[in-house]
């Protein structure tokens, strides 16, 4: 760039100048090249420094007692959560709720059992009807086991309108309170109707299946109602 500047400067000098003038011009040009360019570089440096000084520096974050407290509290929560204390506390609360619900359920179930035992104790007549039912089923089972459907028919009767069936349903109605108990009563009556029909048709295989279904439903019902220990033959 200095060479270019000197060449351009020489074109402005007259051609008839003496050697001394040329020498003087050369000296002047050399002096200009020496002094002008450093000055230009100094200006640039000064502008750069001035810009750096004038640019605003980022302010340091202001830490207050409130922000410090929030930060410490947040760190503590995450620390406890990482160690499992927070989840353990939640689990303890849930377990306490579950225990309370379980205790309440146990109390209700106990109250129902006491009430049921009171009903059973005051239902001697209905218990007698059920005892007759146990006797009938026992005799029918023995007859079917001996392949004697005629004897089974004499105990059962020809239809579900038999007196012992009607009495058994009176006892079922009085002593059944829960949906599960009532469901087993329905299952028993359905199986008993199928048993009587199979015996009348002299169908041994169907009679055996229907008898097992009837006995199973009745046994489940006595277990649900708490009568299983009060009836003989079960």
pTM of the model: 0.55
Q: Is 112 left (phi over 0), alpha (psi -120 to 50) or beta?
A: alpha
Residue 129: CB atoms within 10 A of its CB come to 20
The confidence score (pLDDT) of residue 157 equals 93
Is 200:153 a contact under the CB 8 Å cutoff? yes
CA distances to 16, 58, 183, 190, 215 from 209, in Å: 143, 92, 19, 12, 10
Token pair belonging to 192:
């008993």
- Each residue's pLDDT, cut to its tens digit, for the chain (234 residues) gives 434 433 434 444 444 444 444 444 444 444 344 444 444 545 455 545 444 444 555 454 455 655 555 565 556 545 555 555 555 556 666 666 677 888 887 887 777 767 666 667 777 899 999 999 999 999 999 999 999 999 999 999 999 999 999 999 999 999 998 999 999 999 999 999 999 999 999 999 999 999 999 999 999 999 999 888 888 887
**Which domains are delineated in the chain?**
66-112 (no CATH), 124-225 (1.20.120.290)
Token pair belonging to 41:
């570089």
The confidence score (pLDDT) of residue 88 equals 59
Angle at CA of residue 24, ends 22 and 25, nearest 5° = 65
Residue corresponding to tokens 């058994």 = 168
Phi, psi at 30, each rounded to 5°: -65, -40
Q: Is 148 left (phi over 0), alpha (psi -120 to 50) or beta?
A: beta
The confidence score (pLDDT) of residue 103 equals 81
């Amino acid at each position: 760039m200095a060479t270019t500047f000197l060449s351009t400067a020489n074109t402005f000098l007259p051609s008839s100048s003496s050697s001394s003038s040329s020498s003087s011009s050369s000296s002047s040009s050399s002096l200009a090249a020496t002094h002008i360019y450093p000055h230009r570089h100094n200006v640039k440096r000064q502008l750069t420094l001035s810009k750096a000084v004038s640019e605003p520096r980022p302010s340091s974050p202001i830490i207050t007692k409130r922000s410090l407290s929030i930060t410490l509290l947040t760190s503590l929560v995450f620390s406890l959560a990482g160690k499992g204390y927070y989840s353990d506390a939640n689990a303890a609360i849930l377990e306490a709720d579950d225990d309370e619900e379980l205790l309440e359920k146990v109390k209700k179930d106990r109250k129902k059992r006491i009430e049921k035992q009171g009903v059973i104790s005051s239902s001697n007549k209905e218990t007698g009807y059920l005892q007759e039912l146990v006797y009938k089923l026992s005799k029918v089972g023995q007859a079917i086991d001996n392949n004697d459907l005629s004897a089974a028919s004499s105990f059962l009767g020809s239809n579900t309108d038999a007196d012992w069936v009607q009495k058994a349903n009176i006892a079922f109605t009085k002593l059944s309170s829960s949906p599960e108990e009532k469901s087993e009563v329905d299952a028993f009556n359905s199986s008993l109707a199928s048993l009587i029909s199979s015996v009348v048709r002299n169908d041994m295989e169907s009679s055996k299946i229907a008898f097992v279904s009837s006995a199973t439903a009745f046994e489940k019902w006595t277990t649900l109602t708490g009568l299983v220990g009060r009836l003989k033959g079960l």
